[in-house]
Amino acid sequence: MSKSQVLRRGPSEFPAREVAVKAIAIVALATFASVASCSLVLPFDELTSGNQNAEAPLDGGPQGDTAPEHADQDSPGDGAALDDHSDDTDDANGHVDADASSPEDADATAPDSSADVDGSPPTGWVDCQTYPSDPKCVPWAQANPGSVGNGIGLSSDTTAMGGFVEGDHVVVAVRGLAGSAIITVALDTGDRTLVSGSIKDAWTSLQTRGAGPLSSFIDVDPNPAGGWVAVGGDGSVIAIDPTTGDRSLSMQLQQMSCEGWSGLDPAVDYGVAVDASGAVLVGVSNQSGTYGIVRATPSGCTMVSFAGSQPETTRGSGPEFAYGLWGLTLFEDAVWIASPERSVMRVEVATGDRSWVTKVNPPVGSGSNDNAFEALTHHEGDVWTGAIHGLLRLMKIDPVTHNREAYYATSGPASAVPQSAIPYSVTLLSHPLEDLLIVLTDTMMLYDVQTGDSNYLSR
């Protein structure tokens, strides 16, 4: 995505190009009386052990059996086991301070668990520790379609994959068993509107809008020339007129040959970006497992960066790509990508040069080694990566020092994700008005960076 606000997903446990898509929305939240915040301090390793099948605790906070076992296993392509966090401490706001010597030290500098940066809660926020039964706070299994926000009802098999914030709404690509579509969600109300495509309404029947080719949409971006550009799991790039919902095929990435190189497999599952000229930037791999970034237009394809085993297959200097190209996004004329090997790389579009933003092993920067590198965004001057392993886990990365700080959801729906609801992907967007991250996955949530609390965006 060309928007810096977009935290992009990385598929986990999902076949290539068979990504599920689900709609997002921001919630219309009722005002509520001021409530004293409940603080709960737990060692971080209590959150990373046990069985994730358990439901969320009654108070909406974290419990020790919410994290799946695989959260502490070795990451793909990396022989080192994950840090067990035995030296880390955390606070009630879901922030792990690797340098704090005790939970008391961590709490001494922790932000107020009931307030945002300016001292007030986010607009319309519900404190899920105090009101765990509120529709914005209940566990996944208890959240019904239409319980937060009005408009088209998204059935339980619908998943949000990618999107961007545009003005007073969020544009999201969704996919279900009965179709795929692009919807918008109003930032102030959370209301959902079908813009283009075909999707099954949770209460009625198949809803359609616009004419033209359809694909299993996995992402949508703004088109600098006007309208939107959606990408399907089969590599179809489709131009969308949001006024009418009509669609037209722009190109087919699966059929491209890039500067004489054929057999390049576009990794559209990991996300795409659209640059200022309207060209699509996408990760690719070849049969030998070498990764790269290409720039595709209807008239042809050029290599942006490629690191092969032979000099003639290399474009740009710097380290080779790590395993996987997750969370691909465009920011400051560079492509940013995360890897399940727990790293973030920056690729300069003009030169193809590659550099580490952070890396766990061998180390570039220091801090948490948590497994939270399946998505990426820029938020408030920092790089954020994220994943869902039993609960929402996030990593805040300083692009100057390369250091990492771990965050996680302490209450609300993102704090306990049952085994049956593990998403195939996760995408986050940066909220344009609040210090919040918008979480798109098998459900749609908001994460408060300051408190660790979470709310549903729309249901």
Q: How confident is the model at residue 78 (pLDDT cuts 50, 70, 90)?
A: very low
The pLDDT of residue 223: 93
Q: How confident is the model at residue 3 (pLDDT cuts 50, 70, 90)?
A: very low
Contact between 402 and 364 under an 8 Å Cβ cutoff? The reply is yes
User: 74-81: long-range contacts at Cβ-Cβ below 8 A with a sequence spacing of 24 or more?
Assistant: 75/340, 75/341, 75/342, 75/371, 75/373, 76/323, 76/324, 76/340, 76/341, 77/322, 77/323, 77/324, 77/339, 77/340, 77/341, 78/341, 78/342, 78/360, 78/361, 80/360, 80/361
Report which of residues 212 and 25 the model is more confident about.
212
Contact between 358 and 364 under an 8 Å Cβ cutoff? The reply is yes
* The CATH fold of domain 6-456: Neuraminidase (2.120.10)
Q: What pLDDT digit, counting tens, does each position of 81-94 carry?
A: 233 333 344 554 56
Alpha-carbon span 29 to 21, nearest angstrom: 25
The pLDDT of residue 355: 96
CA angle (371, 126, 122) in 5-degree steps: 80
- For the chain, give every domain's residue range: 6-456
Q: Which two tokens stand for residue 4?
A: 């810096």
Q: 0.85 exceeded by the pTM?
A: no
- Dihedral of the CA atoms 433, 439, 440, 445 (nearest 10)? -90
Contact between 320 and 57 under an 8 Å Cβ cutoff? The reply is no
Q: Which of 304, 302, 267, 306 is nearest to 284 (CA)?
A: 267
Q: What pLDDT digit, counting tens, does each position of 390-402 carry?
A: 888 899 999 999 9
Handedness of CA 38, 44, 48, 49 (dihedral sign): negative
Alpha-carbon span 95 to 111, nearest angstrom: 10
Q: What pLDDT digit, counting tens, does each position of 112-149 carry?
A: 333 444 456 677 889 999 999 999 999 877 888 888 88
Q: What pLDDT digit, counting tens, does each position of 218-245 carry?
A: 889 999 989 999 999 888 999 999 999 9
The pLDDT of residue 321: 87
CA angle (128, 132, 136) in 5-degree steps: 65
